[in-house]
Amino acid sequence: MRKTILSVLGVALAIGAIFLGKFLIDNNTKPKPKFSREIKSVFVKEVDNKEVDIVLTASGSLVAKDKIEIFSEVQGLLKTSNKPFKAGSNYNRGEVLLSLNSDEFYASIQSQKSNLYNLITSTLPDLRLDYPSEFKKWESYLQSFDLEKTTPKLPSFTSDKEKYFITGRGILTAYYNVKNLEVRLTKHQIRAPFTGVLTEALVSPGTLVRTGQKLGEYIKPGVYEMEVSINAAFADLLKVGNSVALTNLEKTKNYTGKVVRVNGKVDQTSQTIKAYVEISDNDLKEGMFLEANLVGKSEKDAIEISRKLLVNNKAVYTVKNDSILTLVNVDPVYFGDENVVIKGLENNQKILSQVLPGAFDGMIVKINKK
């Protein structure tokens, strides 16, 4: 009896352990998570291929087209004049910009003139004896000689004998020495070559000016040139006479210029070529910084999009069947600062108009029609 009871209890305990283990296992099983599939919205635009103007953007500062740096070719004290030799002073064509004291130099010229006069005077008696036919013209020349005026041109020679005679007396040497000094005397006074304004003055009245010293800078306002650097790859697009749209940095004023020169040399370091744009406007000032848009050429069957939409510089995302994102290879023909001109898409194809983070080829999307 005792063995029978123990056997029954053992079997009961084993069965109970089995059921208890099964119960615990069933209660420990977690339910499988359910994921909701999210479909992102995208903004698109339809492709409309057309003729796109390729605009080369560049910038630079203005330089006056007519501009001179004033240097002294002689030495002397700077004299005062009717207008102060200071930056901002305006001058008319031919008006005296500045003048240097030339008293000492003038006295030297008068001495050389007197020497020439004496040489011709001492030669006249010999001319009357040896060349009586030439005497009259040299006598008339001497009578017209005025020490206070510019030295007149010597009479022309009628024979080689006369020429050798005059040359042997040192008259030609003395004459050309005087003419040389007269030319240098005129350089003590500098006149305005055109109507303009003084932009830089480096000396003041009473200053001792030395030969070769820079005195200032003078420009003609109203007409300016701007040097711009363009990528050498577009050198064939630059043509003299092309119209150029220009704006100031604040984008508040617009100007129009034209290409007047194109350098024939490519900078080896930057691989750029320089073009020169001429602008005429009374509101402009030298040194102003402007931005230029040069129309190079037109590309047919192309569109212009943001550079951010270009993937690896060779592809863009299109939306196929209004739901599938597809990566399509394109042909970029010009890269600007912010935009790129591309070819290779068909009309009415839908491409992304805004960047989609995490986009990939084959991604399911929906078009946002707002």
Would you say residue 31 lies in a domain?
A: no
Percent of the chain with pLDDT over 70: 95
Return the pLDDT at 29: 54
Give the span between the Cα atoms of 334 and 340, in whole angstroms: 6
Give the span between the Cα atoms of 304 and 286, in whole angstroms: 35
How many residues would you count in the chain?
370
Please say if the pLDDT value at position 36 is more than 60.
Answer: no
- CA-based radius of gyration for the chain: 46
pLDDT, mean of residues 341-362: 87
Lookup: tokens for 256: 């129009």
- Tell me, yes or no, whether 286 and 352 share the same domain: no
pLDDT category, 81, cuts 50, 70, 90?
confident
- Tell me, yes or no, whether 163 and 307 share the same domain: no
Would you say residue 170 lies in a domain?
A: yes
Q: How far is CA 3 from the centre of its chain?
A: 114
- Tell me, yes or no, whether 209 and 269 share the same domain: no
- Tell me, yes or no, whether 159 and 227 share the same domain: no
Return the pLDDT at 31: 59
Give the span between the Cα atoms of 213 and 216, in whole angstroms: 9
Return the pLDDT at 173: 93
Pick the range with the lowest mean pLDDT from 84-98, 175-189, 231-245, 351-365: 231-245
Return the pLDDT at 172: 92
Would you say residue 334 lies in a domain?
A: yes
Domain count for the chain: 4
Q: Report the run of H or E that residue 61 belongs to, with start and end.
A: strand 50-64
Give the span between the Cα atoms of 241 and 278, in whole angstroms: 10
Percent of the chain with pLDDT over 90: 29
Report field, pTM of the whole predicted structure over 0.85: no
Pick the more confident residue, 27 or 54.
54
Please say if the pLDDT value at position 92 is more than 90.
Answer: yes
pLDDT category, 22, cuts 50, 70, 90?
confident
- Tell me, yes or no, whether 76 and 211 share the same domain: yes
pLDDT, mean of residues 165-169: 89
Give the span between the Cα atoms of 279 and 140, in whole angstroms: 57
Give the span between the Cα atoms of 92 and 196, in whole angstroms: 7
Q: What's the pLDDT tens digit per position in 185-243?
A: 999 999 999 999 999 999 998 889 999 999 999 999 989 999 988 878 777 767 788 88
- Tell me, yes or no, whether 72 and 175 share the same domain: no
- Tell me, yes or no, whether 250 and 319 share the same domain: no
Angle at CA of residue 298, ends 303 and 61, nearest 5°: 105
- Tell me, yes or no, whether 203 and 144 share the same domain: no
- Tell me, yes or no, whether 342 and 210 share the same domain: no
Q: Which of 223, 222, 228 is nearest to 60 (CA)?
A: 228
- Tell me, yes or no, whether 76 and 214 share the same domain: yes
- Look over the chain and give the mean of its residue pLDDT values, rounded to a whole number: 86
Q: Which domain holds residue 264?
A: 56-64+221-298
Would you say residue 34 lies in a domain?
A: no
Would you say residue 206 lies in a domain?
A: yes
Residue type, 128: R
